Amino acid sequence: MPREQLEKTGVTVRDAGPGDAVSGVRPSWVVLPETVEEVSSVLRACAEHDLAVVPVGGGTKLHWGRPPERCDVLLDLCCLNEVLEHAAGDLVVRTQAGVTMGALAAALAEKGQELALDTAPDATVGGTLATATAGPRAFRYGTARDLLIGITVVLADGTVARSGGKVVKNVAGYDLGKLFTGSYGTLGVIAEATFRLHPLPADSRWVVAEVEPSRLREVAAALAASQAEPSAVEVDRPDPEGPVTLAVLVEGTAAEPRALVLREIIGAGEVAGEPPSWWGVIPQDEVLVEVRFLPSVLDGVLDAAREAGFRLRGSPVSGRLHLTPAGDAGAETLARLRERTGRMTVLATQREDVDRWGEVSALPLMRRVKERFDPGRTLSPGRFLGGI
């Protein structure tokens, strides 16, 4: 019996319940490894018995991506929750994948440092990498791919692969880290990650103002080019027909006077020491769309979202917005929205007739990569674009 084979690995196994379902697909068992070696043993056993595996961290984005074609084992990484090494002098941290972003932030703050990814505190390191989540300060510090300098993954056959290192100058295996970031658990299980860090800013200010949509592109471009050097520029429009709230973050020395300079650029607004409540929060909805675009075409994206009846939130200067429908969002509505916005991903939806990714020119190459890393298709089968 497969469960007996799983238990022979010495890893904790329990029967799955309704709360363990992945996009409606319920696994048979939940396995809770505590070390990289145990993850390896579990994947080796699953490969030998053709058991499909879906890894999970905090579960905050488990509904993103397509439902798996099958899911026999839910690999819960919650017990891989240690910060393994914090080389404060080198501004580097090595951590297990099950560490939550909130716990990691607290540990780093004790040394006056941070990982500038701005994700939900209950999300895990592994889940943040697997979904390539980007927060507001990606405008200044980059995305998870940019901050990741080393990674340990376990492949479908149980092989443990490592690349990169804890020294920022060591770029060996850097492409492997890039490959696994945003792979939705379809190539292997992320077990450990090493990141470069930044000092905690000495001070922070937010400028918050209401801006007419017709002015937003011009204002956002001026803010991005300003010598006041904002760390992030975010917008929120909870009503598709309403105005846009603009929030700009300034960090570091002379934050207050620099914030005042940015307020002059906007022409309105208040300077505050705390962010607005929506800052950095990815909307939770049955339908969630992410649009990537050149900032120069922001006007067209805003118009398309308004006409389709979508609320929006995100960064006009990084060219990244999350959209949620104010009403019904069928396949035709989403298709028209994609035609007008370009690079659009439907991160979450319960509709099976929706094309989540659209046309992707690199799909043949991605299929070959999947075949190379997971020839038996036991890792999150069907979760990623093209049914990978």
Q: Which pLDDT value is given to residue 166?
A: 59
The alpha-helical segments, DSSP class H, found in 61-173 are 101-109, 125-130, 138-141, 144-147
Any idea which residue has 């939900």 for tokens? 120
Buried b (16+ CB within 10 A) or exposed e, 53-87: bbbbbbbbbbbbbbbbebbbbbbbbbebbbbeebe
Phi-psi region of 314 (alpha: psi -120 to 50; beta: other; left: phi over 0): left
What is the distance between the alpha carbons of residues 129 and 175, in angstroms, rounded to a whole number? 14
DSSP-derived 3-state class of residue 233: strand
pLDDT at 218: 97
Which two structure tokens, joined as six digits, stand for 61? 């984005």
One pLDDT digit (tens) per residue for the chain, 388 residues: 689 989 999 999 999 999 999 999 999 999 999 999 999 999 999 999 999 999 999 999 999 999 999 999 999 999 999 999 999 999 999 999 999 999 999 999 999 999 999 999 999 999 999 999 989 999 999 999 999 999 999 999 999 999 887 544 443 444 789 999 999 999 999 999 999 999 999 999 999 999 999 999 999 999 999 999 999 999 999 999 999 999 999 999 999 999 999 999 999 999 999 999 999 999 988 899 999 999 999 999 999 999 999 999 999 999 999 999 998 888 999 999 999 998 999 999 988 889 999 999 999 999 999 999 999 999 999 999 999 9
| 3-class state of residue 204 by DSSP | strand
Number of helices and strands (H, E) in the chain?
12, 19
d(CA 180, CA 174): 10
pLDDT of residue 1: 61
| Residue 227 to residue 8: CA distance in whole angstroms | 61
Distance CA 50, CA 261 (A): 61
The H or E element that residue 234 is part of is strand 232-237
Q: What span, in angstroms and rounded, lies between the C-alpha atoms of 204 and 272?
A: 9
pLDDT of residue 174: 42
| pTM assigned to the model | 0.94
Partners of 86 in the β-ladder: 93
DSSP track, 32-78 = E--SHHHHHHHHHHHHHTT--EEEESS-TTTTSSPPPS--SEEEE-T
pLDDT of residue 373: 95
